[in-house]
Structure 1
Amino acid sequence: MHITFENINTLGHVVFESQQYKHIHYPEMLLRYDSNFIEFKKSPSLTEFKSAENYLRNYHLKNGQKHVKFYFPANEKPAVEILGYLNQSGYAIGFLELYTIQPHQFPFVINNSDIVIDVVTDKNFEAYLEFQYQQDLEFGSEFANQKIELHKRNFEDQNILQLIALYKGNPAGSVDVIISKETAEIDGLVVDENFQKKGIGSRLQKFVMEEFHDKTIILVADGEDTPREMYRRQNYQNHGYKYHADKVYEN
C-alpha cells in the first residue's frame, strides 16, 4: 500500500478548514503542541502565513495557550522568504520523517531474559502510568498530569495497544501501538535513560512485529534526532518528510 503522512494518527479535532489549511485543536490537552496546530495543505506565501499566524495566535490566547505551531505540506521545503521570517521571529524549525517496514524485514533480536514485554492491563496499568509520569516530568508537572489523562483515554481505546518493558522487573520502556485495518503505528516509543543501550527499544519493536505480522508497521521520527539512524539500520524505509515550526510566547 502507498503510505503517506495521512496514514499517521492525528490526536485532535478539525475546528476550521479552508482551501489553504486545517486547524487542529485538542481542548483535552492544550499543552500538547502536536495536537494544537495549523497544517497547510499548500505552501503559503509570506502574507498568507502571517494571516494564519495571527489567526492561530488569537485563537490560542483565548484558550490560555502560549504557543503556535505550523506544519507545512509533505515533501516540500518552505519557501526562502518563509524560512527567513521564521528564523527572524524566533521559531524553532524542524522536520519529521515517515518510515515503514514489513514485519518480516525487521532484523533478528537476541533474546534477553532480563527483558520482559507486557501488554498493559488492569494489573500493571498503575505501574505504566507512573513510568509515563516520570518520563513526562521534564516538560513540567502540568503537562505530565494532562498526559496521564490521555493515557487513561488510550487505555479504553480498543484501537490502541499499550506495551511496557521491564528490565529485571523494573519499568524501563514503553510504546503505544495505534491499530488500523492495514497498519500498526508505533507511537511514543521511549526507553528510560537509566536503561538505554540494553536492547529494550528493539525488543519493544520486535513484539510489535510479531503481534502485527500481517500489517505494515509505520512511524514518524524527528529528522534531527538519533533514533532515525536506528530505524534505518533496522530496515525501515523512508517515505517522505514534513517541515514544522513552533514558537512559544512569554505571555
Structure 2
Amino acid sequence: MDITFEHIFRLGNVVFENNLYRQIHYPEMLTRYDSNFIEFKKIPTLSEFKSAEGYLRSFHLKHGQNHVKFYFPENEKPIVELIDYLNHSGYNIGFLELYTIQPNQFPIVQENPDIEIYPVTDKNLETFLKYQYQQDLEYGSEFANQKQQLHKRNFENPNILQLLATYKGKPAGSVDIIITKDTAEIDGLVVDENFQKKGIGSRLQKFAMEQFFNKTIILVADGEDTPRDMYRKQNYQYHGFKYHVNKVCIPESN
C-alpha cells in the first residue's frame, strides 16, 4: 500500500476550491491552525501566493482569526522567489515528514511496572480532559478551552481511540489513534515534560502496535524536531515531506 499525505486525517471542511488550491475551515475551533488553512495543489508563483494570502487574510479577519497558514504540495519545495518573500514577510517556514511502520517491525519495549496505558472510557474521561487542558494551556486558555470540546468530540468518535498513560498513577502522556480500514494513525502523541525519557512514548506506541497489529501504522513528524530521529531508530519508514508556512497577523490600526 502506497501511503501519502492524503491518508493523513484532516480536521476541517473544504469551504472553497479552485484549480490552484483548496481552503480548509473548521468553525468549531478557529484557533487551530491545522484546521484553518489553504492547501496548494501546485507550487504557486509569487503573484498567485500573494493573491491567496490576501483572500485568506480577509476571510480569517471576518471570522476573528489572526493567523494565516498555507500547505504546499507533497514532496515539492517552494520556489526561491517565494521563499525570499516568506522570510521577509515574517512567516514561520517548516516541513512535515511522513512515516509508516508495520506493527511487527516495532522494536521490543522494556516493561516498566510504573507505566500503565489505558484506553479512555467514561471512568477516566475527566482525568484525561484535565491532563489535556494542562498540556494545551501552552497555547493559551482560549485554545485549551476549544480543545476540550474537540477531545470530547473525539471521545464520541468510534474511529478514534484515545489513550492515557500514567506513571506511578499520575497522568503522564496521551495519544489519539485514528482508525481506518487499512491504517491506524498516531496523532497528538504527548508526554508531560515532568515524565519524559522514561519510555512512556514508546509504551503508548507499543500499545497501538498490539491493538492494531493488522494495520499499517502511520504518523507525521515535524521535520525539525528531535522525535523524528526516534521514529527512524524505531524502524519507521520515511515516505516524503510537505512544506507549510504560517504567521500571526497584527491587526491593522485605524
Matches within 5 A, 1:6-155: 6-155=6-155
Unaligned 5+ segments in structure 2 are none
Cα distance in structure 2, aligned partners of 1:205 and 1:123 = 22
SS at match of 1:19: coil
With normalisation by structure 1, the TM-score equals 1.00
Shift of 1:250: 2.0
Q: For residue 198 of structure 2, what is the amino acid of its counterpart?
A: K
Q: What do residues 140-163 of structure 1 show as CA deviations (whole Å, max 9, x unaligned)?
A: 011000000000000000000000
Q: For residue 154 of structure 2, what is the amino acid of its counterpart?
A: N
Cα distance in structure 1, aligned partners of 2:133 and 2:9 = 22
Q: What do residues 49-87 of structure 1 show as CA deviations (whole Å, max 9, x unaligned)?
A: 000000000000000000000000010010000100000
Cα distance in structure 1, aligned partners of 2:11 and 2:226 = 24
SS at match of 2:54: helix
Cα distance in structure 2, aligned partners of 1:102 and 1:167 = 27
Cα distance in structure 1, aligned partners of 2:61 and 2:137 = 24
Cα distance in structure 2, aligned partners of 1:215 and 1:48 = 40
Cα distance in structure 2, aligned partners of 1:234 and 1:90 = 36
Cα distance in structure 2, aligned partners of 1:19 and 1:47 = 15
Cα distance in structure 2, aligned partners of 1:88 and 1:238 = 31
Shift of 1:249: 1.1
Q: For residue 18 of structure 1, what is the amino acid of its counterpart?
A: N
Unaligned 5+ segments in structure 1 are none
Cα distance in structure 2, aligned partners of 1:80 and 1:250 = 26
Q: What do residues 114-166 of structure 1 show as CA deviations (whole Å, max 9, x unaligned)?
A: 10000000000000000000001010011000000000000000000000001
Matches within 5 A, 1:200-215: 200-215=200-215
Cα distance in structure 1, aligned partners of 2:74 and 2:103 = 25
Cα distance in structure 1, aligned partners of 2:238 and 2:82 = 26
With normalisation by structure 2, the TM-score equals 0.98
Q: For residue 119 of structure 1, what is the amino acid of its counterpart?
A: P
Q: What do residues 140-197 of structure 1 show as CA deviations (whole Å, max 9, x unaligned)?
A: 0110000000000000000000000010000000000000000000000000000000
Shift of 1:240: 0.2
Query: Percent same amino acid among aligned pairs?
Result: 75
SS at match of 2:173: strand
Cα distance in structure 2, aligned partners of 1:36 and 1:142 = 16
- Aligned counterpart, 2:244: 244
Q: What do residues 1-56 of structure 1 show as CA deviations (whole Å, max 9, x unaligned)?
A: 00000000000000001110010000000000000000000010001000000000
SS at match of 2:15: strand
Q: For residue 17 of structure 1, what is the amino acid of its counterpart?
A: E
Cα distance in structure 2, aligned partners of 1:229 and 1:148 = 30
- Aligned counterpart, 1:233: 233
Q: For residue 158 of structure 2, what is the amino acid of its counterpart?
A: Q
- State the superposition RMSD in angstroms: 0.4
Number of equivalences: 251
Cα distance in structure 2, aligned partners of 1:131 and 1:226 = 23
